[in-house]
Structure 1
Amino acid sequence: MPKYLLIMRGTDESNAAMMADIEEMMASTRQFIDDALKAGVLLAAEGLDDPAKGAVVDFGGTAPVVTDGPYGETKELFGGFFMVDVASQQEAVEWAKRVPAARGSKIEVRRVPGSDEVPQA
């Protein structure tokens, strides 16, 4: 079966809303993980640390430029992911609709190509 990455994307506002009720959000997330595990579709799930503790390496110029977080012009930040092993994109979308997320957040659904699909040199 194909694998799909459910990428959690939030804004400063949606992240603040999530943190305002973090206990409920964590309980809902644990329930989502339990449901996905029971269904046998969850392969991995991880959240990311505060963007202020990260960095961006930008290859837009002749030499890479490193910018410490927060990243200024960024409108959405990648906050974590769930990787699911399901039969179709539609099934991945159905799981994405069940992810607990604050208003203003988005879940991006992306298929992970198999090694046999990667172009060979």
Structure 2
Amino acid sequence: MKYVVLIHSNPQPWGHPTGDFVAEQQALPEAERAANSADFDKLLGELSERGELVGGQALGDPRDARLFRWEGGRRKVTDGPYAETAEHFAGFFLIDVADQARAEAVAERMSGPGETVELRPVAD
């Protein structure tokens, strides 16, 4: 079963890994931040070894986004981002796992302070 793990964050300034730029993570003791980073790297290694990591990509600064819409029967291009919130889509991982329970376990391990992780099944 394929799932997309969507990472929502608001690093200031925008950068990756987003945790390095998120106030909630910056406030953690250095040892805890290092442990969190090591855990994340370990998870990515496990996903790769098990053949569950299909791909993923960090996204650039949402201020550089462009939105393409239809308005009044015509195309309209505006500057992004789409959401008018503090949190923006920072990146994603595409995983192929045995079941929803495994997908949820992966997504939970990808979450960190100051970020929101969304898990969505891929439509067939």
For normalisation by structure 1, the TM-score amounts to 0.71
Q: What is the number of residues matched between the two proteins?
A: 108
Cα displacement (A) at 1:73? 1.9
% same residue:
30
Gaps of at least 5 residues in structure 2 are: 13-17, 27-32
Q: 2:92 aligns with which of 77, 81, 86?
A: 81
Change (3 A) 1:7 1:72: closer
Change (3 A) 1:60 1:88: farther
Cα displacement (A) at 1:79? 1.0
Q: After TM superposition, what 4+ stretches of structure 1 lie above 6 angstroms from structure 2?
A: none
CA RMSD of aligned residues (A): 2.6
Gaps of at least 5 residues in structure 1 are: 115-121
Deviations 1:85-121 (A, max 9, x none): 1122221111000115332x2111111123xxxxxxx
1:51 is matched with which residue?
Answer: 62
Preserved CA contact (<8 Å) 1:32 1:100: no
1:9 is matched with which residue?
Answer: 8
Are 2:123 and 1:113 aligned?
A: yes
Change (3 A) 1:74 1:63: farther
Cα displacement (A) at 1:31? 2.9
Change (3 A) 1:37 1:57: same
